[in-house]
Amino acid sequence: WITATVLEDMLKTRQQEVVPNTLTEMYIHFLVVQIKVKKVKYDGGAETDPPWSPESRKMIESLGKLAFDQLEKGNLIFYESDLTECGIDVRAASVHSGVFTQIFKEERGLYQDKVFFFVHLSVQEFLAALHVHLTFSKSGVNLLEEQQTTSQESKTRKSESAEILFYQSAVDKALQSPNGHRDLFLRFLLGLSLQTNQTLLRGLLTQTGSSSQTNQKTIQYIKEKISENQSTEKSINLFHCLNELNDVSLVEEIKQSLSSGSLSAENLSPAQWSALVFILLSSDQDLDVFDLKKYSNSEEAFLKLLPVVKASNKALLSGCNLAEKSCEALSLVLGSHFCNLTELDLSNNDFGDSGVKQLCLGLNDGLKNAHCELETLRLSGCQITDEGCGSLVLALDKNLTRLKRLDLSYNHLGEGRRASLTSRRDDPNWSLETLEVEPAGQRWLTPGLRKYSHQLTIDADTVSRKLKLSHNNQMVTHGEELQTYPDHPDRFDVKPQLLCKTGLTGRCYWEVEWKGRVDVSVSYGGVNRKRESLGCMFGQNDQSWSLSCSDSSFSVWHNNKKEPIISSVSHRVAVYVDCPAGILSFYKVSSDSLIHLHTFNTTFTEILYPGFMLKPVSSVCLH
C-alpha cells in the first residue's frame, strides 16, 4: 500500500525521479505525498506549493514523539492521554489533517474507550527514527542513551565524534533488542543521515548531512558487528542497514566470487557467510532449488546456510557430511510454520538412527501443520536400521501427511520393516505414492560413499596405442613409444584415451591416483573414437563428462564447456555416480577424507562407462 501510494503519485505528477531504492527513501516519499494531499485537499493550496507548513511540521514532530515514546515502551496501541502528552489534539487533528487520518487509526476498545494505532508498525518506526534524528540535529540530545546529555554549543553537538557515537549507539541498541523490534528503526535512522534523504525532507529537516568520514566510520562499525557471528536475523538486518547507507561492498564481493566461480567456502569469514545468506535470501531469483554442494559439502556450511534451506522449496543436501547436529537443526525447520520445503534430500549422510529420531521430532510438529507442504523425503544410504525406520513410521502414522515419495533404499531394513512400509503405501489413509526400500542389507551400513565401491576393469580393446598398460592392467601410462595393440573397431585411434568394461548401473564409486595431466571421465559407449578433432576428447562433447587434473588446478568439462574449480590439488580423486538420479560427483581424496569438487545434475540417457585421457608423461593407477 505504501509503495503503491508513492508510485501512483510519481506517475500522476509525471515526476522523472528515480524510483526509491531504499526503505528510507520510500517512506520519505510516502510522508511527503501525505503532506501534499493535506496541503491541496484541506488547506486549499496548489500542487506546486511547498508541502511543509508550521502546522504540518508540528503534527509530524508530535507524531514522531508519540511513535518513539511508545516504541520504547513496546506499545503498538495508545490511548487519548498518550496523544495529549505529546501535544496532539485528537479532534482537531482528525478533522483538519489528512496526514493524521492516513497514517493513524482510531477504533473502539474492549470497554468502548478510544484506542489509536499507526496503520503499520513500520510507519511508527519511521516516525520514531525521524523524531530521534530531529532531536539530535537540533539539540544534540541522543535519546538512545540512558543518561541523556545536552551540548549547548553547536560545534560540540555536531562534532564528528558525537555523530559517530550517536549512530554506533543506535546499532548497539538494535543488536541488544531480543525480539528485533528496533531493526527497522535502525535502518530508518541510518538512512536519514544521508544528505540525499534530508534533501527530500527539505522544509522539515535542517540539512546537516553526516560527513562522508562519519558514514564510513558507521559502515565500518556495522561490518565489524557482522563479523562477530551475530544471529542470522541480526546479520541480515545489518546488511539492510549498509544498503540504507548506499554501501554494498561486502555483498558485491560475494556476488563477484559467485559469478566468477572463485567462491571458496573454506576461506569465508563470518561476515562473508552472512553476506552470502543475505544475497541468497534477497535474490530476485525464486528460491526453488537449494543445492548445498554448490557452496560446501560440510555441516558447518549447512548450519550457516540454514535460513536459506528453510526458505527453499527443494533442498538438496545429499552427501554433505551431515550428522546428528544437522538433523536437530533441521527438525526445528520442519516444525516451523514458515517452512517452505516440498522436497528434502538427505541421502548419503551418515547420521544413522539417532539422526532420524531427531528429524522425527520436527516431522511430528511439521506434519500436524496445515501449511506443511513436504511431499518428498529422501533418506537413502543414511545407515538407517529397523530402529530408526520405526521412529519414522510412527511419526508418519500419527499425522495426516502429504508425503508422496519416501526413499529409504541402501539402508539396513529387515524384511518385516520393509513389508510394513509397503502395506502403508497401499493404505488409502496414506498419501504415499512412491516407496523405495531396495536394495537393503548389512553392507549398506558402511560409512560414506565407499559402500558403493565399484571395481574398474580396463577394456583393452579401447586403449589408444599411445597408452601403455601395466601392473595387471591396473596402471596406465602415456609413454614415448607406440604400443603394438591389434586393430579393433572400439580402439581410440587418435586421442590418448580408454574406456573401462561393464557399463555402470545404480550407484557406483571409485578412486584413482594420477600424475601429470589426466582427465578422469565418464562417457556413453558411443563416443567417437576415430576422428582427429576436439569433439572426440572426453568432456568436449555432449556424451561425456570429465574432471581435468593437473599439478596446478582442477576443472570440469562437459559439451566443450569448462568450469574452473577453486581448490588445492590432490593426486588422488574419486568419482560417484548415481545413474538413475542423474548425479555425477567428483571429489579429491585428502587424508582419506572426501572433499567435494563438483557435481553434475543431469539425465543419463545411455549406459555410462568410466574413462581416462592422459597427456604425455602422465599416468593413472586404479584402486
Q: What is the per-residue pLDDT for 367? A: 64
d(CA 337, CA 367): 10
Kindly state the average pLDDT of the residues 440-455: 94
Angle at 60 between CA 59 and CA 64, to 5 degrees: 120
DSSP string of 237-272, one letter each residue = HHHHHHHHTT--HHHHHHHHHHHHT---GGG--HHH
Whole-number average pLDDT of the chain: 85
Q: What is the per-residue pLDDT for 7? A: 62
Inform me whether the pLDDT recorded for 68 exceeds 50: yes
Inform me whether the pLDDT recorded for 4 exceeds 70: no
Q: Is the model's pTM score more than 0.85?
A: no
| Cβ-based neighbours of 233, under 8 Å, separated by 6 or more | 180
Inform me whether the pLDDT recorded for 36 exceeds 90: no
pLDDT tens profile 535-571 = 789 999 999 999 999 999 999 999 999 998 888 899 9
d(CA 543, CA 308): 34
Q: What is the per-residue pLDDT for 532? A: 67
pLDDT level of residue 153 (50, 70, 90 thresholds)? very low
User: Within the chain, which residue ranges are assigned CATH 3.80.10.10?
Assistant: 286-446
Architecture in CATH of 450-622 = Sandwich (2.60)
Check: CB of residue 319 under 8 Å from CB of residue 337: no
Inform me whether the pLDDT recorded for 93 exceeds 60: no
User: Within the chain, which residue ranges are assigned CATH 2.60.120.920?
Assistant: 450-622
Kindly state the average pLDDT of the residues 284-296: 79
- The CATH code of domain 286-446 reads 3.80.10.10
Kindly state the average pLDDT of the residues 618-623: 95
pLDDT tens profile 314-332 = 999 999 999 999 999 999 8
